[in-house]
Amino acid sequence: MTTTEAAEAAGALQAHRPMLLGLAYRLLGSRHDAEDVLQETYLRWLGVDRSTVEEPRRYLSRVVTRLALDRLRARQAARETYVGTWLPEPVPTTPSPFGPLDRVELRDSLSTALLHVLERLTPPERAVYVLHTAFELPYAEIAEILDRSVEDCRQLHHRATARVRQEQRRFTASRLDRERLLEAFLAAARDGDLATLTDLVASDATAWNDGGGRVRSALNPVLGADRIARFYAGIYGPRRRWTMRPLELNGEPAALLTNANGNHYTLTVAAADGRITGIYVVGNPAKLPPVD
Output the furthest CA–CA distance in the chain (Å, rounded): 68
Q: Are residues 65 and 140 in the same domain?
A: no
Q: Are residues 265 and 206 in the same domain?
A: yes
Question: Is residue 251 assigned to a domain?
Answer: yes
Q: Give the predicted TM-score (pTM) of the model.
A: 0.94
Q: Are residues 161 and 220 in the same domain?
A: no
The reported pLDDT for the residue numbered 70 is: 95
Q: Are residues 163 and 194 in the same domain?
A: no
Dist CA 284 CA 29 (whole Å): 14
- Stated as kind and residue range, the H or E segment containing 277 is strand 275-282
> 20-44 as b/e, with b when 16 or more CB fall inside 10 Å?
bbbbbbbbbbbbebbebbbeebbee
Q: Are 249 and 266 in contact (CB under 8 A)?
A: yes
Q: Are residues 180 and 238 in the same domain?
A: yes
Question: Is residue 91 assigned to a domain?
Answer: no
Question: Is residue 94 assigned to a domain?
Answer: no
The reported pLDDT for the residue numbered 289 is: 66
Dist CA 43 CA 143 (whole Å): 24
- Residue 147, domain CATH: 1.10.10.10
Q: Are residues 24 and 71 in the same domain?
A: yes
The reported pLDDT for the residue numbered 97 is: 95
Question: Is residue 92 assigned to a domain?
Answer: no
Q: Are residues 198 and 266 in the same domain?
A: yes
The reported pLDDT for the residue numbered 49 is: 81
Question: Is residue 292 assigned to a domain?
Answer: no
> Which of the listed residues 168, 184, 214 is the one where a domain comes to its end?
168
- Splitting the chain (292 residues) into consecutive groups of 10 residues, what average pLDDT does each group show? 73 91 97 96 88 87 96 83 92 94 91 96 96 96 96 98 94 96 97 97 98 92 98 91 94 95 95 98 88 56
Q: Are residues 194 and 281 in the same domain?
A: yes
> Which of the listed residues 86, 116, 146 is the one where a domain comes to its end?
86
The reported pLDDT for the residue numbered 1 is: 60
Q: Are residues 125 and 184 in the same domain?
A: no
Q: Are residues 73 and 159 in the same domain?
A: no
- Residue 215, domain CATH: 3.10.450.50
The reported pLDDT for the residue numbered 228 is: 98
The reported pLDDT for the residue numbered 31 is: 95
Domain count, the chain: 3
For residue 131, what are the domain limits? 100-168
The reported pLDDT for the residue numbered 290 is: 60
> Which of the listed residues 57, 86, 115 is the one where a domain comes to its end?
86
Question: Is residue 142 assigned to a domain?
Answer: yes
Check the CA dihedral 139-142-147-148 and report its sign: negative
Dist CA 151 CA 140 (whole Å): 9
Question: Is residue 224 assigned to a domain?
Answer: yes
Q: Are residues 181 and 279 in the same domain?
A: yes
Strand partners, 227: none
